[in-house]
Structure 1
Amino acid sequence: MKKVEIYILGGFLGSGKTTLLQNLLKEEKKTNQKVAVLLNEIGEHSVDTDIIGKEMPLKELLNGCICCTMKDELEIQLLSLYQEHQPDVIYIETTGVAHPIEVLDACLSPVIAPYIEIKSIVSVIDSKRWLDRDKLSLRIKKLLEEQVRHGDHILINKVDLITREEREDIQKEIMEINPRAKVHLTDYSNISIEELSQPSRSSIDSHEEMHVHNHLHIQTMTYQFQDPVIKEEFDDWLKSIPESIYRIKGFLQFRDDEVYTHLFQYSYRLPFFFPQSIKFPKNLVFIGENLNKEMIKEELMQLEQNAKRKVTL
């Protein structure tokens, strides 16, 4: 089954995200791919919707940010786009104040995660604003750096407005923050889809172990349970997982409580369980860096086998 490719377009206010989206959509028109767009705006109206037009499936998330107040709505809208239109690719334009990991987390609903592939996190940087970032508040400066730190492709945009020396300085600073990313110098966010679909540096470094098959700097995986597990053993397993696993969310069943499916949320090393009266698909979605996917899969399979073995004893 072919998965729907998702591109997350991020970057601070005025950096050139909408121009990038327009460029990519113009290029997509030359292909046979079915394209959908999801726009997120802090305000009550999206100007970008008028710019993009109504030639393709489009969903709007207004009056809030994907990464905090609108996570649940994003999951609903993504699922709606998938079910109604079956697109080949979805472009998500975030608000200028969105944190990349939070957006990625919001995209990966356990219900839809098996059917999508996060192709790339693209962070657009306004070169002039970057040079002047020390004049910004500490919070905004930190956000700019976080948008760089977690991007797979970094667009240093509006380079026609700065000198060659300034370009070199910015490139050096970006690479110090995120040596894994591919960095591109652009005017008017001009870059091809082919370039953005290329692996980031982390996946082609010959010195790295290649058990990770995902091109993202921040990797994801989905595990689908076949059977219930023992809660105490699952709790013990959680205590042993590395700090590089940032988020886990999804649904699972426990052997002694098979009436309920449990919604599970894990972030900042804190687990939460919420019983659900509806039996959702038993998928767990993982988000982190350098995920050892085979090891995680083997350990979870072992938990399932342990629960089955103890029932038969």
Structure 2
Amino acid sequence: MSRIPTNIITGFLGVGKTTLIKQLLATKPELECWAILVNEFGEVGIDGALLREGGTAVKEIPGGCMCCVAGLPMQVGLTQLLRQKRFDRLIIEPTGLGHPLEVLQTLQTHFADVIDLKACLTLIDPRHFSSERHLSNDTFHQQLEVADLLVATKLDLTENAHLNAMQRQLAAWQLSDRPLTQANNGQLALHWLDQPHQAHAVLPETGHHHGGNYPAATLPTPSEAQPIVSKRHQGQGYYSCGWALHPAKVFEPDAVFHWVSGLTCDRLKAVLITTDGIIALNLADGVLKTLELDECDDSRLEVIHHQPLDWDALAEQMQHCLAPA
């Protein structure tokens, strides 16, 4: 059997990876069957609900970096996904706080006879090149180092000073020769996926471990007896808390928008059942975006920040956004 064309799509928190993958799925050849292996820093698993619409095969690895402990969670998740059926393309989306070098190492060590590794796409928000917190982050640097293609996003929020800082930093890190394109609202031409992968970076000799416990404990499914369940996670200098709610718990949209718009956090993602239907929320860098969805099993919400927050207070505020039973 021929090997499966495979792309890694990486980039820091909130840069728009899931949005771009959704657009790629919307424009892929109609008869092709694609699979997605998605990794989230948080524990509740939200990206799967966003990407699964349309029948795409999705395997989620929540709870930190998929390459922890010598790539074991990634090996298990990818093996389970590939056993389902024959796919025409595989897309791997590591968490924005994961290590793409170790992801590459796992693919090349354990799946070389199954996958045909194509271009690694690194999404970049030009504003991050003016942020010392990003510039000093090893994962941010790794994501740039592995890139076969740099894809600039969030250009509607970008100023010339950010673009100039990006060009200066790419030159300082000797990355000016990498192809650079842009994706407005996640739109990217499919031909970029078939570009070859180049071995730009030296792969590590061994896997790393930064606090994840695998196999990770499964988040309990919300039930009528326990309609709200939650789980917290921390690592790589970031903290998260996520909640899953039984579908009988329905949100008031106006209350949700008012609450979320006032939050201070690096990232919020949610899929919520509301009195007006199902919506997805995406809060990054103070900008809130919404999307209507057709279906979901339950409501899920995750908050990520570079400092610990008062999670109990957030849980109480969230519950105040619920409609009366």
TM-score, normalised with respect to structure 2:
0.57
**SS across alignment from 1:38:** strand
Equivalent-residue separation in structure 2 for 1:139 and 1:176 (angstroms): 14
Higher relative contact order (CA 8 A, sep 6+): 2
Q: Does 1:161 align with 2:134?
A: no
Equivalent-residue separation in structure 1 for 2:154 and 2:73 (angstroms): 33
Are the counterparts in 2 of residues 74 and 107 from structure 1 also a CA contact under 8 Å? no
Instruction: Spell out, residue by residue over 1:46-95, the C-alpha distance to the aligned partner (whole angstroms, 9 max, x if none).
Output: 21112122512111111121132471121122222223211111111110
Are the counterparts in 2 of residues 81 and 87 from structure 1 also a CA contact under 8 Å? no
Residue 157 of structure 1: how far off its partner (Å)? 1.2
Equivalent-residue separation in structure 1 for 2:71 and 2:15 (angstroms): 23
Aligned to 2:140: 144
Identical counterparts, % of pairs: 26
Equivalent-residue separation in structure 1 for 2:177 and 2:69 (angstroms): 30
Unaligned stretches of 5+ in structure 2?
208-325
Give the residue type in structure 1 aligned to 2:40: E
Give the residue type in structure 1 aligned to 2:190: I
CA shift in 2, pair 1:73/1:3, >3 Å? same
Unaligned stretches of 5+ in structure 1?
200-214, 220-243, 248-265, 269-313
Q: 2:183 aligns with which of 186, 191, 209?
A: 186
Equivalent-residue separation in structure 2 for 1:90 and 1:67 (angstroms): 17
Instruction: Spell out, residue by residue over 1:234-260, the C-alpha distance to the aligned partner (whole angstroms, 9 max, x if none).
Output: xxxxxxxxxx5x35xxxxxxxxxxxxx
CA shift in 2, pair 1:73/1:166, >3 Å? closer
Instruction: Spell out, residue by residue over 1:179-199, the C-alpha distance to the aligned partner (whole angstroms, 9 max, x if none).
Output: 442111332232112123234
Aligned to 1:89: 89
Aligned 1:136-285 pairs, distance under 5 A: 136=133, 139-140=136-137, 142-164=138-160, 166-177=162-173, 178-199=175-196, 215-218=197-200, 246=203, 266-267=205-206
Equivalent-residue separation in structure 2 for 1:162 and 1:78 (angstroms): 36
Aligned to 1:113: 112
Give the residue type in structure 1 aligned to 2:46: V
Instruction: Spell out, residue by residue over 1:219-278, the C-alpha distance to the aligned partner (whole angstroms, 9 max, x if none).
Output: 8xxxxxxxxxxxxxxxxxxxxxxxx5x35xxxxxxxxxxxxxxxxxx449xxxxxxxxxx
Equivalent-residue separation in structure 2 for 1:176 and 1:184 (angstroms): 19
* RMSD over equivalenced CA pairs, Å: 2.4
For the pair shown, which has the larger CA radius of gyration, 1 or 2?
1
Equivalent-residue separation in structure 1 for 2:123 and 2:33 (angstroms): 25
Are the counterparts in 1 of residues 15 and 124 from structure 2 also a CA contact under 8 Å? yes
Equivalent-residue separation in structure 2 for 1:137 and 1:80 (angstroms): 34
CA shift in 2, pair 1:120/1:198, >3 Å? closer
Instruction: Spell out, residue by residue over 1:166-186, the C-alpha distance to the aligned partner (whole angstroms, 9 max, x if none).
Output: 424423432542244211133
Equivalent-residue separation in structure 2 for 1:137 and 1:161 (angstroms): 17
TM-score, normalised with respect to structure 1:
0.59
Equivalent-residue separation in structure 1 for 2:163 and 2:41 (angstroms): 31
Give the residue type in structure 2 aligned to 1:181: R
Equivalent-residue separation in structure 2 for 1:5 and 1:119 (angstroms): 6
Q: Does 1:60 align with 2:57?
A: no
Equivalent-residue separation in structure 2 for 1:109 and 1:82 (angstroms): 16
Equivalent-residue separation in structure 2 for 1:75 and 1:109 (angstroms): 10
- How many pairs align? 205
**SS across alignment from 2:185:** coil
